[in-house]
């Protein structure tokens, strides 16, 4: 389902979704297609988000599009092991 459809069906609320298709632009993931699992009451949104795994996440339909910032893992500094 496209995000615009999700916004129409679930106006002004949090939804638990699974990412089905996305693409990367620079340091951001732009989600193209999602499957809605369920609406999430505002008071449960953070707890539900913390329990998400894989491609599941909670997002608010206030947002025009689904954009997720990428976090790069910092490289290791120095050497491992004894000298």
Q: How many residues does the chain have?
A: 83
Tokens of 1: 């389902």
Instruction: Please report whether residue 78 resides in a domain.
Output: no
In a domain, residue 81? The reply is no
Note the pLDDT of residue 70: 85
User: For residue 49, is it within any domain?
Assistant: yes
Query: Total domain count for the chain?
Result: 1
**What would the two tokens of residue 69 be?**
């910032």
37-75 confidence digits (pLDDT tens)? 999 999 999 999 999 999 999 999 999 999 999 877 666
Mean predicted lDDT score pLDDT of the chain: 90
Q: Examine residue 18 and state whether it is found in any structural domain, yes or no.
A: yes
Q: Where does the pLDDT of residue 21 fall: very low under 50, low under 70, confident under 90, or very high at 90 and above?
A: very high
How far apart are alpha carbons 55 and 74 in whole angstroms? 22
Within a domain: 82:
no
Instruction: Give the range of the structural domain holding residue 39, as residue numbers without chain letter.
Output: 3-62
Can you read off the two tokens belonging to residue 10? Answer: 């679930």
Contact 27, 78 (CB under 8 A): no
Tell me, yes or no, whether 73 lies in a domain.
Answer: no
Tell me whether residue 23 is in a domain: yes
Average pLDDT over residues 24-41: 96
The verdict on pTM exceeding 0.85 is: no
Domain-located, residue 58? yes
């Amino acid at each position: 389902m496209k995000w615009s459809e999700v916004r129409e069906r679930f106006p002004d609320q949090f939804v638990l979704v699974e990412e089905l298709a996305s693409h990367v632009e620079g340091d951001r993931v732009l989600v193209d297609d999602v499957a809605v699992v369920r609406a999430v009451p505002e008071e449960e949104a953070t707890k539900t988000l913390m329990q998400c795994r894989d491609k599941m996440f909670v997002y608010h339909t206030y947002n025009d599009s689904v954009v997720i910032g990428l976090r790069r893992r910092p490289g290791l500094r120095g050497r491992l092991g004894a000298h």
